[in-house]
Homo-oligomer: A and B are copies of this chain.
Amino acid sequence: MARIVMKFGGTSVANLERIRHVAGLVAAEVADGHQVAVVVSAMSGETNKLVGFVDELDADSANGGAIEDEYDAIVATGEQVTSGLLAIALRRRGVKARSWLGWQIPLKTDMAHSVARIEDITPDNLDASMTDGNVAVVAGFQGISEDGRISTLGRGGSDTSAVALAVALSADRCDIYTDVDGIYTTDPRIAEQAKRLDRISFEEMLELASLGAKVLQTRSVELAMNNNLPIRVLTSMAEDGVANPGTLVCHEDDTMDERVVSGVAYSRDEAQITLLRLADKPGTVAKICGVMSDANIIVDMIVQGRSRAENAANLTFTVGKRDLPKALEALESAKGKVGFEGIKSDSNVTKVSIVGIGMRSHTGVAQTMFEALAERNINVEVIATSEIKISVLIDSEYTELAVRALHNAFELQNA
């Protein structure tokens, strides 16, 4: 007997038929003698509908302060409905089950409504119910804040709910069911030859997730890595009896080390800002970072260039595309204080990245990457690297070309 946490995203519980199918997948694990907790998302479309209601009322006026507490109470109902429906579907299959809401567990979070972080899970009651033979059907994405209000963990938060619960319950594994059958070397919609990976390391997954591969939420991978909890990513669409191995996300092993590069990721959610003719004195970059952080904007890639003729520096960096108007406004009003002469911005850029723990022990990776891009005449605007990844910012028009070029250059079709 093992203790398993299974997580199903919105497309996996999109309607009653899919919910029945999920009940079948859960029932099969129960029939194998396992104790099961299931974490569910809202039926797909529900969250967007609810967020649409909130946005419309929110837009009525700029007055009246924050509404994230009420946003949370409203959108958390999506997961609440799914958890109840799946519990019913399980009972009607003869499987003992009950639903659990964030406040019932309780899954305690901080007060950052709509982007709350889990602080503590007390799984005693849930644990007792599971030991009693009940499947625990847990509404994902939600918790209870210190003041007894409903909180939510932000988009994709159900992954984090599942991993945190698996850790709290000392589960043997956490299976994340989704609409793809595993982690791929790149987006198969762009590169037909993309290959499903059998295994990938936490570190690589973390980079891929934060670089735009949307299968797992970054924080959930972090949490699994810190607690050495293996995550299996697999499809909920497979029919009974069809092999469904998925991808295991776990600590690195020898087989992974042999791969130089494991995947190519891309993100179109970037915008590039260049500040022209910056005052050439110490502390200018720090001042700019301060301006951005005061406006709650995360700065990603940064590169400083120098115009020899004018003895002045330009500074280029990227922010999230959604933050661009706010960033430009903040910079414009800090122009005098920081000291620069002009701003250029471009939201028509894509960040393309290669990721692999093998890069730590192999040389020539960057060379292969830049040669592959140069051969296709793809101009690189900004570069950022870490121990296991290299990211470049390019014109969005070249996104697919760059992804395919890099996938070929590192022979990922043979991964």
- Chain A residues proximal to chain B, CB less than 8 Å: 16, 19-20, 50, 53-54, 56-58, 60-61, 63-65, 67, 69-71, 73-74, 77, 80-81, 83-85, 87-95, 98-99, 101, 103-104, 148-150
- In-complex Cβ contact of A77 among B80, B104, B149 (8 A): B80
Is the CB–CB distance between A88 and B70 below 8 Å?
A: yes
Is the CB–CB distance between A89 and B57 below 8 Å?
A: yes
**A74-B84 contact, Cβ under 8 Å, with A53-B16, A58-B92, A60-B89:** yes
Where chain A touches its partner, the secondary structure class is helix
Q: Which residues of B contact A77 (CB under 8 A)?
A: 77, 80-81
A31 shortest CB reach to chain B, Å: 15
Is the CB–CB distance between B80 and A67 below 8 Å?
A: no
**A91-B64 contact, Cβ under 8 Å, with A53-B16, A56-B16:** yes
Cβ-closest 3 pairs across A and B: A64-B91, A77-B77, A74-B84
Q: List 5 A-B contacts (CB under 8 A).
A: A54-B84, A57-B89, A69-B98, A73-B80, A103-B103
Is the CB–CB distance between A93 and B61 below 8 Å?
A: yes
A43 shortest CB reach to chain B, Å: 9
Is the CB–CB distance between A61 and B16 below 8 Å?
A: no
Q: Which residues of B contact A63 (CB under 8 A)?
A: 92, 94
- In-complex Cβ contact of A92 among B20, B61, B87 (8 A): B61
| Chain B residue at minimum C-beta to C-beta distance from A52 | B16
Q: Which residues of B contact A84 (CB under 8 A)?
A: 54, 70-71, 73-74
Is the CB–CB distance between B73 and A101 below 8 Å?
A: yes
A329 shortest CB reach to chain B, Å: 23
Q: In the docked arrangement, what's the CA distance between A148 and B98, Å?
A: 13
- In-complex Cβ contact of A88 among B57, B90, B92 (8 A): B57
Q: In the docked arrangement, what's the CA distance between A285 and B75, Å?
A: 54
